[in-house]
Amino acid sequence: MFDLNQVLRDNIKRLTPYSSARDEFKGEASIYLDANENSFGSPLPVNYNRYPDPMQWKLKYKLADIKGVPPQNIFIGNGSDEAIDVLFRSFCTPGADNVILCPPTYGMYEVSANINDVTIRKVSLTDDFQLDLPGIEAAIDANTKLIFICSPNNPTGNALNRDDIEMILSNFDGVVVIDEAYINFSRQRSFIQELTEYPNLVVMQTLSKAWGLAALRVGMAFASEDIINVFNKVKPPYNVGQATQELALEALGNIEQVNGWIKETVQERDLLVSRLSLLPQVLRIYPSDANFLLVKTIDANGIYNFLVEQGIIVRNRSKVELCAGCLRITVGTPHENATLVAAISAF
Ligand code: PMP
């Protein structure tokens, strides 16, 4: 049975949320002399002299509308990379606790674990890039606080079997983090709708991929209200700037444009698969539910360098476990993809 109090870091249990200057006063006033801001204004056409809403409510209400979850179940971070760090700081006692990662997977889980002095237990994916359930079960002990599951997975591109993920959600007494950064490109349904079923579930998503806002730095975590309240205690009070909140809100109004790009990206992905698979330089293309392909080649280093010389950058993953000979290639515009295929065929 999942019990949030059992999983939380001891010192976090005792914390009260940081109270920012404006928390004590919730209404509107004509003179604000409470937060040591510059009352004259900002040296910009728009005034950014006042601190932003620390809880980003407007943005959360809009996201709630789009995602079909209450705003109280949403955490917004400075990219989902901040959500990853907040997860470690909420649940893992440095030097004592451990987390389970399933490589090859997204690198920030390991970076954040190391920064927070949390032991990593690696349970590699199987040869077909699925979860090794017996391996995960064997790796869990009383100090295992988090299991990170990336689906669709980076860098392999595939979605992980839903039944396997549900098995872990039902049986693990710690927190299961499902990173859905690439969910918009996937045939698989998001786990967001399962939040009421699993109190130990945290779903992460981001505006950096399908939404085209990587430079803004907006990532989300969806979880029970109790877990979100913990994140709100652990995060820095003003973790998302005013300009970011405003621009993200505006962007979320353009969902049709984004849906159009998602459709086009998926079409281009399928086209890229069919074109690359004709090339003798390409040995295998792994099935993708994301906006990139993992491509096994005859010579990853050689092709990587050959592409660099022509001003085309892909990600060389040939040193990554289970990815020998592989390049990770983002699906670009039709022109970019055609240029890439022509360049590889000339190698
Ligand atoms: N999760 C995965 C699986 C990713 O690939 C990435 C970015 N490469 C992130 C999270 C980080 O996203 P953000 O830009 O929101 O920090």
- The rounded radius of gyration (Å) of the Cα atoms in the chain is 22
Dig out the tokens for 173 from the structure.
């007494």
Distance, CA of 114 to CA of 95 (rounded, Å)? 10
71 C-beta closer than 6 A to ligand 1: no
Same domain, 265 and 117: no
Q: What is the CATH number of the domain that holds 301?
A: 3.90.1150.10
**Domain end residue (candidates: 234, 253, 272):** 253
Q: Are 73 and 228 in contact (CB under 8 A)?
A: yes
Same domain, 139 and 225: yes
181 C-beta closer than 6 A to ligand 1: yes
For residue 240, how far is its CA from the centre of ligand 1 (angstroms)?
Answer: 17
pLDDT confidence of residue 119? 98
Mean pLDDT per segment of 10 residues, for the chain of length 347 residues? Answer: 94 86 82 95 96 96 98 98 98 97 98 98 98 98 98 98 98 98 97 97 98 98 98 96 98 98 98 98 98 98 98 97 97 98 98
Residue nearest to ligand 1 atom 1, measured at CA: 181
* Three-state secondary structure call for residue 150: strand
pLDDT confidence of residue 299? 98
pLDDT confidence of residue 263? 98
**Domain end residue (candidates: 253, 283, 303):** 253
For residue 27, how far is its CA from the centre of ligand 1 (angstroms)?
Answer: 37
Same domain, 229 and 278: no
For residue 290, how far is its CA from the centre of ligand 1 (angstroms)?
Answer: 12
**Number of structural domains found in the chain:** 2
Residue nearest to ligand 1 atom 8, measured at CA: 106
Residue nearest to ligand 1 atom 2, measured at CA: 181
Same domain, 61 and 205: yes
For residue 85, how far is its CA from the centre of ligand 1 (angstroms)?
Answer: 12
How, if at all, do strands 98-101 and 144-150 pair? parallel
208 C-beta closer than 6 A to ligand 1: yes
Same domain, 272 and 245: no
H or E stretch covering 170? helix 162-171
**Domain end residue (candidates: 201, 219, 253):** 253
Dig out the tokens for 320 from the structure.
């990554």
Same domain, 63 and 99: yes
Q: What is the CATH number of the domain that holds 96?
A: 3.40.640.10
Dig out the tokens for 336 from the structure.
């970019």
Give Cα separations from 86 to 97, 162, 198, 227, 310 (angstroms): 15, 26, 20, 11, 40
pLDDT confidence of residue 19? 80
Same domain, 161 and 309: no
Structural domain includes residue 98: yes
Distance, CA of 102 to CA of 164 (rounded, Å)? 13
Show the domain range for 234. 4-24+52-253
The interface predicted TM-score (ipTM) is: 0.98
DSSP designation for 23: G
pLDDT confidence of residue 93? 96
Of the chain, the end-to-end C-alpha distance in Å amounts to: 56
Same domain, 124 and 272: no
Q: Which numbered atom of ligand 1 lies nearest the CA of 81?
A: 16
Structural domain includes residue 271: yes
Structural domain includes residue 36: no
Same domain, 220 and 325: no
For residue 81, how far is its CA from the centre of ligand 1 (angstroms)?
Answer: 6
pLDDT confidence of residue 23? 79
Distance, CA of 298 to CA of 302 (rounded, Å)? 9
pLDDT confidence of residue 17? 82
For residue 22, how far is its CA from the centre of ligand 1 (angstroms)?
Answer: 32
